[in-house]
Amino acid sequence: MTYSVRVVADSIGPHEIRITTLEATFPRFILAELNTHRMLSRNSASSRAIPTTRLRSRVTAHPFMPIEWGSNRSGMSAGPEIPLADKAAEIWLRARNDAVEASVQLLGLGVHKQITNRLLEPFMWHTAVITATDWNNFLHLRTQADAQPEFRKLALLIEHELDASTPVRMHYPDWHLPYVEDEEKETLATMTAASVSAARCARVSYLNQDRRDLAKDIELADRLIQNGHMSPFEHTAQCLPVPARWGNFIGWKQYRKFIPNEADPKGEHDGPDTD
């Protein structure tokens, strides 16, 4: 595994507002920083969902390694790379080996993967589905020279893929449907296709988002709504006739905004849904 970004779906409305869904693989240790960007809708591979043996195999065969071993200094950005970079890499891999061994021992005690997998996270590659109508702030901040090198590499890849992709022209009431194939769009009812899209975005938790099983996708979408898991329904969106804002999107209305009580599934407050 290594850095990768691919466009899953790319659409543009009559108001010239573009919505793009990407599938990105990057170091797990920058996920928290990615999640600070509230204009982005995200679903990610889950350390609670993927078996420890599977993650351990990946970390052993393809561990994440820092791009550079910058020298320590005050501030958030590192200085020039240290002269003993090879030694630093050895120490990093030794820590990986220790984490792998500790996960083996904890699993042997019967500890659940939601705990044992956390030890492996610094050395893991991570995959996320990301959708947005506005990438400007993200790209401005994360492509700068003083950004975390690993995050800057991801942001530059995203910028490149956005520039290289040509969005599909859409009009109200067309839908942006990540992971739904063209032939499925022609045969499925609109809201069924939207549910299938949301379910496949959710499957990134288990890294099986490319799985194709319509019946199970529809079942999963229903279960997600019943349990109040609304984030997968943000990637699927309807084109609007005017550039209105819905949630963190402009010009596109997320599927989750069509779901009653989406911001409060238990219906415990009387105020309007505003985000």
Judgement on whether residues 229 and 126 belong to the same structural domain of the protein: no
Judgement on whether residues 66 and 40 belong to the same structural domain of the protein: yes
pLDDT of residue 269 exceeding 60, the answer is: no
Judgement on whether residues 81 and 160 belong to the same structural domain of the protein: yes
Judgement on whether residues 51 and 15 belong to the same structural domain of the protein: yes
Give 85-126 pLDDT, tens digit per residue: 999 999 999 999 999 999 999 999 999 999 999 999 999 999
Range of the domain at 251: 172-258
- Our count of domains for the chain comes to 2
Q: For the domain that residue 89 is a member of, what is the CATH number?
A: 3.30.1360.170
Check residue 275 and give its pLDDT.
40
Judgement on whether residues 204 and 250 belong to the same structural domain of the protein: yes
Give 127-168 pLDDT, tens digit per residue: 999 999 999 999 999 999 999 999 999 999 999 999 999 999
Residue 103 lies in a domain: yes
pLDDT of residue 215 exceeding 90, the answer is: yes
Check residue 267 and give its pLDDT.
67
**Greater pLDDT, 212 or 182:** 182
Give 29-87 pLDDT, tens digit per residue: 999 999 999 999 999 999 998 999 999 999 999 999 999 999 999 999 999 999 999 99
pLDDT tier, 10 (very low <50, low <70, confident <90, very high otherwise): very high
Residue 157 lies in a domain: yes
Residue 149 lies in a domain: yes
Judgement on whether residues 20 and 142 belong to the same structural domain of the protein: yes
Judgement on whether residues 186 and 126 belong to the same structural domain of the protein: no
Check residue 270 and give its pLDDT.
47
Q: What is the pTM of this model?
A: 0.92
Check residue 268 and give its pLDDT.
61
Judgement on whether residues 140 and 187 belong to the same structural domain of the protein: no
The string of DSSP letters for the chain reads ---EEEEEEEEE-TTS-EEEEEEEEEEGGGHHHHTT-TTSEEEE--TTTS-HHHHHHHHHHS----S--BPP-SSSS--SBPTTHHHHHHHHHHHHHHHHHHHHHHHHTT--HHHHGGGGGGG-EEEEEEEES--HHHHHHHTSTTS-HHHHHHHHHHHHHHHH--PEE--TT-EE-TT--HHHHHHS-HHHHHHHHHHHHHGGGGT-TT---HHHHHHHHHHHHHHT--GGGGSSEEEPSS--EETTEESEEEGGGGSTTTT-TT----SPP--
Give 242-259 pLDDT, tens digit per residue: 999 999 999 999 999 999
Q: Which of residues 148, 164, 180 is at a domain's end? A: 164
Judgement on whether residues 200 and 183 belong to the same structural domain of the protein: yes
Q: Which of residues 164, 189, 214 is at a domain's end? A: 164
Check residue 185 and give its pLDDT.
94
Residue 264 lies in a domain: no
Residue 126 lies in a domain: yes
Judgement on whether residues 158 and 188 belong to the same structural domain of the protein: no
